[in-house]
Amino acid sequence: MALNQAANGHGRVAYVNARLIDPASNLDAPGALLTEGEAIADLGPRLFNDGVPAGIEAIDANGLCLAPGLVDIRVQLREPGEEHKETIATAGAAAIAGGITSMVCLPNTEPVIDNVAGIEFIARRAREVKRAKVYAYAAATKELAGKDITEIGLLSEAGAVAFTDGVRAIASARVMRRALSYASAFGALIVQHPEEPALADTGVMNEGEIATRLGLSGIPTCAEAMMVARDLRLVELTGGRYHVAHVSTAEAVELIRRAKARGIAVTCDTAPPYFALNELAVGDYRTFAKLSPPLRSDDDRRAIIAGLRDGTIDAIASDHAPQDQDSKRLPFVHAEYGGIGLETLLALSLELYHNNHLTLPEVIRRLTEAPARILGLKAGSLAKGRPADLLLFDPARPWVIEESAIRSKSKNTPFERRPVQGMAVRTVIDGRTVHGAA
């Protein structure tokens, strides 16, 4: 049966002639997979070797890769409050086009997600939109003000998957200690934006020769390392669970590497800009390359790749931060931080494979099993009985990242006109094809 025949999510559907990649079970082999309703019913190299029985819809993968749908654990949805930049619907459309079946949104909306009503709003809107699954972080401190801890136990019961102040660091050591201690009573995870605010306050790009030449204030790499070093001491003190978001510097990677060797409960992620770009992308005051944390030196970029290669960096997230043109087309100092990344997450991550830094299953692990495991999500695996959230992709298909083709409401990608390889051919959520079939 042709690849473009849609699976309707009901009954039984067989995906045959696929390369099955499931990092959770270390599976990488030719084979087939069967879904029944919303769940995975069976899979394996020998499944349907004698043909697909009558009554089962067959989808021929034509040798393409079939993996768990991507799990993106750092997304700014902008809804509620800034729907002119992005909505759950537009982000969902972008996500499924990029092979993302689950995404986790930051709490820095208007109003802030720091109460049960905010968690419930996100869950309700995601059900209404019926695109990618959406989970929510709750704020670690009320109103993201860095002072009073939110009701972690109550918010966990309501569905918050972890706690963070989003794009703000929890700057106070006392507050971070209290958050880690309080969260540990519920087995909850604290996620930190690792940047010492006092050192980063006036900076707009990475501190160094490029910033000096452009006449821009710099953010030193030690702003990240100092926050990570402080927090790791607090994790040791409290026994809490701690995750470092969008790691961007060599020094922070080394601190986390040493902490893991000592058995400290720390995980971390990075994002494509930090292994695929460096500070030279700022060019002549290019505001689409103004990110937080900032693009770093090439030595830092190579250290991020090394951290991904040796497992120090657990996961890759898009760090999707949509900004409208009025927020970006300003003098560099005044432009907002952030770049979009949902539709480009897969292709940019596959550069690690094409450049021989990671194997294909290793790349997929950092986009599926690892982020799902960190947040305890029922995702990121092809195991029997798991939700049929699937990604059929061609790792070699070439394309060029162009603003005109971006589905996100905002278009602020730092990768405009970059040639890439790798494309989502079909995205399936709960057995229902949501992208890639007529």
Dist. CA 358–CA 353, nearest whole Å: 5
Catalytically active residues are 319
Name residues whose C-beta falls within 8 Å of residue 301's C-beta, 6 or more positions apart in sequence.
Answer: 274, 275, 276, 277, 278
**140-163 pLDDT, tens digit each:** 999 999 999 999 999 999 999 999
Dist. CA 289–CA 271, nearest whole Å: 13
Tell me the CB-side half-sphere exposure of residue 288, using CA atoms within 13 A. Answer: 15
* Amino acid making up residue 76: Q
Q: What is the pLDDT of residue 10?
A: 59
Furthest C-alpha separation in the chain = 69
Label residue 147 exposed, middle or buried (CB < 10 Å: 0-12, 13-18, 19+).
exposed
Dist. CA 93–CA 102, nearest whole Å: 12
Q: What is the pLDDT of residue 341?
A: 98
Q: What is the pLDDT of residue 5?
A: 39
Q: What is the pLDDT of residue 4?
A: 35
Dist. CA 34–CA 353, nearest whole Å: 28
Q: What is the pLDDT of residue 438?
A: 53
Q: Please list the residues that pair with 392 across neighbouring strands.
A: 66, 426
Dist. CA 372–CA 363, nearest whole Å: 14
State the pTM of this model.
Answer: 0.96
Tokens found for residue 109: 């909306």
Tokens found for residue 403: 């603003």
Structural domains of the chain in order of their starting residue, each with its CATH number: 12-66+389-435 (2.30.40.10), 69-375 (3.20.20.140)
Q: What is the pLDDT of residue 59?
A: 97
Dist. CA 327–CA 334, nearest whole Å: 8
**Residue spans of the chain under pLDDT 70:** 1-10, 438
Tokens found for residue 360: 């294909």
DSSP output for 360-411: HHHHHHHHTHHHHHHHT-S-S---TTSB--EEEEEEEEEEE--GGG--SS--
For the chain, first and last CA: distance in Å?
A: 14
